[in-house]
């Protein structure tokens, strides 16, 4: 579990891996993005995607799930080792989200996060501000999603 | 159903209105963002939010649902009136997404989209490129989410 000081610029963590099934692609899209190429195999074949693929918001939401699981695992491991656990604050938002390739049924996406910038908060010196570049990459090595996030992370030394 | 030429800069459309229930907030967060303040009333009371609130990705995904419903309604209305229906292309992404206030159980969010910029595609003159500022506003008039999207829309006159 990393405090602000432990997050070196350029350091990269794999957050998790997710396999997208037909059922979950259709379940998400039926509720949140019911465009034909996300919910209907035949319509998807006739679309510019050529086959059923996940809503871009589904691909993004699954990044969040991997991030949360990764954080919660880190907390449990730190507690088990008797180590201090840094606090974090909810993210205020994201920048520059791009969907670069479709995520098709059966694709396996590896989500990762790389530290891009860091600075100590001037108004709240107990906290550091981290900017991270987040990615999802499919089993062929193709980037399918990327975005930049900003988050607040506790400093160890204050 | 608007073609590129019909989208004046500054024009604003309400895409839809959504009421966030406890059950759907917990259902989304259990699957995609299982942080305690999104899935557990008691933990949420002790958090900086003070009460159970929706995942930011849920608030964003619900914008997409309202957008899709709004588009599909427009297609049906145009067809019923014997009018031409413009084609659109999936969005390549968005910029500057900000979650400004929590969305609590029982909140009603009005989603809207306002045209910010427009230009004809140089490489594909049949298409226009629209930049829109998208918002979600709660029943108190507070902005809860905003982001800028880019989309491709067919031109009427080519």
CA–CA distances in Å: residue A83 to residues A33, A76, A86, A87, B44: 42, 10, 10, 13, 25
Tell me the pLDDT band of A158, cut-offs 50, 70 and 90. Answer: low
Give tens-digit pLDDT for A92-149: 899 999 999 999 999 999 999 999 999 998 988 899 999 999 999 999 999 999 999 9
Which ranges of chain B does DSSP label H, i.e. alpha helix?
22-32, 36-39, 41-46, 56-80
Give tens-digit pLDDT for B83-126: 998 888 788 899 999 999 999 999 999 999 999 999 998 988 89
Q: Is the pLDDT of residue B59 over 70?
A: yes
How close is the nearest chain B Cα to the Cα of A57, in Å? 6
Which residues in chain A have Cβ-Cβ distances shorter than 8 Å to B62?
32
Q: From the CB of residue B146, how many other CB atoms can be counted at a distance below 10 Å?
A: 18
Q: Which of B31, B35, B97 sits opposite A94 (nearest CB)?
A: B97
Q: Which pLDDT score, from 0 to 100, does residue B12 have?
A: 96
Q: A99–B93: do the CB atoms touch at under 8 Å?
A: yes
Right CATH number for A4-154 from 3.10.129.10, 3.40.50.2300, 1.10.1740.10, 3.90.1150.10?
3.10.129.10
Q: A93–B94: do the CB atoms touch at under 8 Å?
A: no
Q: Which pLDDT score, from 0 to 100, does residue A88 have?
A: 80
Q: Which pLDDT score, from 0 to 100, does residue B27 have?
A: 97
Say if CB B11 and CB B113 are below 8 A apart: no
Q: B32–A61: do the CB atoms touch at under 8 Å?
A: yes
Which two structure tokens, joined as six digits, stand for A46? 């006739």
Q: Which pLDDT score, from 0 to 100, does residue B89 have?
A: 79
How close is the nearest chain A Cα to the Cα of B99, in Å? 6
Candidates A59, A35, A60; CA nearest to A49 is A35
Q: Which pLDDT score, from 0 to 100, does residue B117 have?
A: 96
How close is the nearest chain A Cα to the Cα of B71, in Å? 10
Tell me the mean pLDDT in the region B55-83.
95
How far is the C-alpha of A153 from the C-alpha of B4, rounded, in Å? 44
ipTM: 0.93
Q: Which pLDDT score, from 0 to 100, does residue A124 have?
A: 87
Give tens-digit pLDDT for A40-72: 999 999 999 999 999 999 999 999 999 999 999
Question: Structural domain boundaries of chain A?
Answer: 4-154
3-state class of B87 per DSSP?
coil
Tell me the mean pLDDT in the region B69-89.
91
Mutate which: A93, A131, A146, vs B, most B CBs within 10 A: A93
Which residues in chain B have Cβ-Cβ distances shorter than 8 Å to A28?
61
pTM: 0.94
Q: Which pLDDT score, from 0 to 100, does residue B86 have?
A: 87
Q: Which pLDDT score, from 0 to 100, does residue A91 have?
A: 85
How close is the nearest chain A Cα to the Cα of B95, in Å? 5
Residue A96's contacts (CB-CB under 8 Å, 6 or more residues apart) are A146, A147, A148, B93, B95
**Which of the 8 DSSP states describes residue B10?**
T
How far is the C-alpha of A145 from the C-alpha of A107, rounded, in Å? 13
Q: B99–A89: do the CB atoms touch at under 8 Å?
A: no
Which two structure tokens, joined as six digits, stand for B123? 């490489």
Residue A153's contacts (CB-CB under 8 Å, 6 or more residues apart) are A2, A3, A4, A7, A86, A87, A88, A127, A128, A130
């Amino acid at each position: 579990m990393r405090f602000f000081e432990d997050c070196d610029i350029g350091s990269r963590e794999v957050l998790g891996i997710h396999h997208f099934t037909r059922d979950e692609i259709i379940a998400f899209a039926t509720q949140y993005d019911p465009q034909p190429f996300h919910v209907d195999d035949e319509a998807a074949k006739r679309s510019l995607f050529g086959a059923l693929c996940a809503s871009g918001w589904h691909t993004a939401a699954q990044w969040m799930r991997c991030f949360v699981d990764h954080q919660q695992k880190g907390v449990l491991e730190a507690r088990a080792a008797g180590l201090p656990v840094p606090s974090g604050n909810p993210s205020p938002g994201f920048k520059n989200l791009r969907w670069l390739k479709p995520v098709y049924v059966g694709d396996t996406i590896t989500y990762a996060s790389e530290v891009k910038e860091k600075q100590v908060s001037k108004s709240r010196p107990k906290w550091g501000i981290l900017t991270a570049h987040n990615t999802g990459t499919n089993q062929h090595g193709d980037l399918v999603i990327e975005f930049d996030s900003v988050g607040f992370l506790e400093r160890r030394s204050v």
